């Protein structure tokens, strides 16, 4: 994994957990969502610069969307 990626960022963790709960591999899930496998891998790895429109495609699969929220300042 790339040293600048934050594997435990909230969106990365959410997507990875939900995908695994459904029993999909990354390849299967990327095909079902309609996103590139590389994008999904980078998203789940916590890449800090990903396209928001693609993030919302993935989140929409679960009935969610990215919305503003307060930053956790304890970190």
User: What mean pLDDT, rounded, does the chain reach?
Assistant: 92
Length of the chain in residues, anyone?
75
Domains of the chain: 10-61 (1.10.260.40)
**Residues in contact with 12: Cβ distance below 8 Å, sequence separation at least 6, in sequence order:** 6, 43, 44, 45, 46
Question: CA-based Rg of the chain, rounded to a whole angstrom?
Answer: 12
Instruction: Give 13: exposed, middle or buried? Use CB within 10 Å, 0-12, 13-18, 19+.
Output: middle
The model's pTM is: 0.86
Spatial distance between the Cα atoms of 10 and 41, rounded to a whole number of angstroms: 15
Give the tens place of pLDDT for each residue, 47-64: 999 999 999 999 999 999
Q: Please, are residues 45 and 7 in contact by the beta-carbon 8 Å criterion? A: yes
User: What pLDDT, on the 0 to 100 scale, is given for residue 64?
Assistant: 97
- Tens of pLDDT along 19-32? 999 999 999 999 99
């Amino acid at each position: 994994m790339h040293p600048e990626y934050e594997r435990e960022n909230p969106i990365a963790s959410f997507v990875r957990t939900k995908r695994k709960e459904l029993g999909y591999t990354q390849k299967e899930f990327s095909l079902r969502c309609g996103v590139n496998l590389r994008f999904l891998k980078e998203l789940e790895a916590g890449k800090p610069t990903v396209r928001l429109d693609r993030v919302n495609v993935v989140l929409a699969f679960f009935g969610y969307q990215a919305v503003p929220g307060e930053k956790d300042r304890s970190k």
